Amino acid sequence: MLKKSWTGGSVSGATTLISADTTILGEVRFSGNLDVEGRVRGDILAEPGADAMIRVVEGARVEGDIRAPLVLVNGLVEGDVYASSQLELAPKGRVEGDVYYAMVEMSVGSEVNGSLTHVPGDELEQAAAAVLDGS
């Protein structure tokens, strides 16, 4: 399943690309697909109820929390990850923070330097909606 996701997985909606030579400073909100090849210094949040996927590719870096239904990591995330549907960590994926997931798949070589906590997906979605609403 992990290999398929990295080679052609997507969800409905548009795809946004943060290219390798790009640095984003500040919060990113999205729906659809978000491919991070560069650097993001700020939180990345999927819109509540959106069919959304974020992919952090090898060599990419996120310095902030990620909240999305489907999170695929093969780069570095320095922050907490909240995956309300599924988290996939590829061989070069590394999370320096806590992980909250409904389902997780880790490849040999991936790392989580923090705690792993299973939380039902609907609870993660409610928490994400509260964060986006500012409550």
Domain boundaries along the sequence of the chain:
2-133
| DSSP state, residue 109 | T
With H, G, I as helix, E, B as strand and everything else as coil, classify residue 115. Answer: coil
Three-state SS string over 26-61 comes to CCEEECCEEEECCEEECCEEECCCCCCEEEECCCCE
C-alpha span between 123 and 105 (Å, rounded): 20
Q: From the CB of residue 79, how many other CB atoms can be counted at a distance below 10 Å?
A: 18
The confidence score (pLDDT) of residue 8 equals: 46
Q: Indicate the pTM of the whole model.
A: 0.86
Q: What's the pLDDT at 3?
A: 44
pLDDT tens profile 11-43: 677 899 999 999 999 999 999 999 999 999 999
Q: What are the residues facing 73 on neighbouring strands?
A: 56, 89
Q: What is the pLDDT of residue 5?
A: 46
pLDDT of residue 1: 40
DSSP class of residue 13 equals S
User: Could you say which residues of the chain have pLDDT below 70?
Assistant: 1-11, 121, 127-135
Mean pLDDT of the chain: 89
How many whole angstroms separate alpha carbon 125 and alpha carbon 78?
A: 21
Spell out the residues 6+ positions from residue 5 whose beta carbon is closer than 8 angstroms to its own: 72, 88
